[in-house]
């Protein structure tokens, strides 16, 4: 691999990790999937944009070699389409190309998958966000996706106390809580007492996707569209395991 290709792939790695972790619901399984994709070879990685698409395609091939889960609410291809177009913000044509699908077929599959998002099991969500307006916006988005918000926490201490009292089935956490502490630390304290999936919201997702330490399985980028939150919540509810779990 030439040096420009290596540089492009290194830039694309955090996003491939995000895709694979969200697909599997696990940091360990997602990162192992990316490692298998790299070992299998990545072609067409001349620039950063091309490298990202090529690495996504390699991850999809590895995922496709694994058995389909019986009775899953969505097929693996449907999940990948949702994740590629929402979490990774690809246009439909690029997402279809990554998965080797005809664009019209991909469009129909995506529409069907979006219709079934609300049919997934509803979550009881704790939102950790120090900005009141953003917290209320998140609450509205979560509730519009069919989930229940059990509490809004503006600080680390409040988040831990609310988690103890309400026993949520999903946590949606901002990383930076300003003077209220650190969202990641709040989550660590909560998960030391209760097991549940967590979605982190951050303006700098690559900082949580290095693969060099215990990191989240679900990361979405600020600002985000309502569909992105709906897809991430769906994946966390149906595939989620606690941060750092296998």
- DSSP secondary structure string for all residues of 136-201: HHHHHHHHHTT-EEEEEESSHHHHHHHHHHH--SEEEEESB-GGG-BHHHHHHHHHTT----EEEE
Would you say residue 242 has pLDDT above 80? no
pTM: 0.81
Q: Are 218 and 198 in contact (CB under 8 A)?
A: yes
Average pLDDT over residues 112-117: 85
Strand order in the sheet with 124-128: 148-153, 124-128, 170-174, 198-202, 218-221
Would you say residue 243 has pLDDT above 60? no
What's residue 44's pLDDT? 64
Per residue in 149-164, pLDDT tens? 999 999 999 999 999 9
Q: Are 10 and 42 in contact (CB under 8 A)?
A: no
In Å, how far are 148, 151, 156, 160, 162 from 165, measured between CA atoms?
15, 10, 14, 9, 5
Q: What percent of the chain has pLDDT over 90?
A: 52
Would you say residue 178 has pLDDT above 90? no
Of the two residues 176 and 24, the one the predictor is more confident about is 24
Q: Are 218 and 228 in contact (CB under 8 A)?
A: no
Average pLDDT over residues 107-125: 85
Domains annotated on the chain, with CATH: 3-115 (1.20.140.160), 118-239 (3.40.50.2300)
What rounded mean pLDDT belongs to the chain? 87
Which residue in 66, 205, 217, 232 sits closest to 141, CA to CA? 232
Average pLDDT over residues 62-84: 88
Would you say residue 39 has pLDDT above 50? yes
Of the two residues 21 and 241, the one the predictor is more confident about is 21
Would you say residue 26 has pLDDT above 70? yes
Highest mean pLDDT among 105-114, 175-184, 200-209: 105-114
Find the range with the poorest average confidence among 22-31, 148-157, 222-231.
Answer: 222-231
């Amino acid at each position: 691999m030439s040096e420009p290709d290596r540089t492009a792939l290194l830039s694309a790695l955090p996003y491939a990790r995000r895709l694979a972790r969200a697909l599997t619901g696990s940091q360990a399984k997602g990162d192992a999937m990316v490692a298998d994709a790299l070992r299998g070879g990545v072609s067409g990685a001349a620039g950063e944009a091309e490298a990202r698409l090529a690495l996504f395609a390699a991850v999809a091939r590895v995922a496709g070699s694994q058995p389909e889960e019986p009775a899953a609410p969505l097929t693996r291809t449907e999940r990948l389409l949702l994740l590629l177009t929402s979490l990774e913000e690809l246009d439909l044509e690029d997402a279809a190309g990554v998965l080797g699908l005809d664009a019209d077929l991909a469009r129909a599959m995506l529409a069907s998958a979006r219709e079934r998002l609300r049919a997934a099991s509803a979550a009881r969500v704790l939102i950790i966000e120090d900005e009141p307006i953003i917290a209320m916006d998140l609450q509205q988005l979560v509730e519009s996706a069919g989930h229940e918000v059990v509490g809004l926490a503006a600080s680390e201490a409040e988040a831990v106390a609310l988690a103890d009292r309400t026993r949520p089935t999903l946590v949606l956490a901002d990383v930076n809580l300003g003077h209220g502490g650190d969202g990641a630390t709040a989550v660590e304290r909560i998960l030391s007492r209760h097991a549940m999936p967590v979605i982190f919201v951050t303006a700098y997702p690559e900082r949580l996707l290095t693969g060099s330490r215990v990191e989240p399985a679900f990361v979405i980028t600020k600002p985000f569209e309502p569909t992105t939150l709906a897809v991430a919540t769906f994946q966390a509810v149906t595939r989620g395991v606690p941060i750092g779990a296998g």
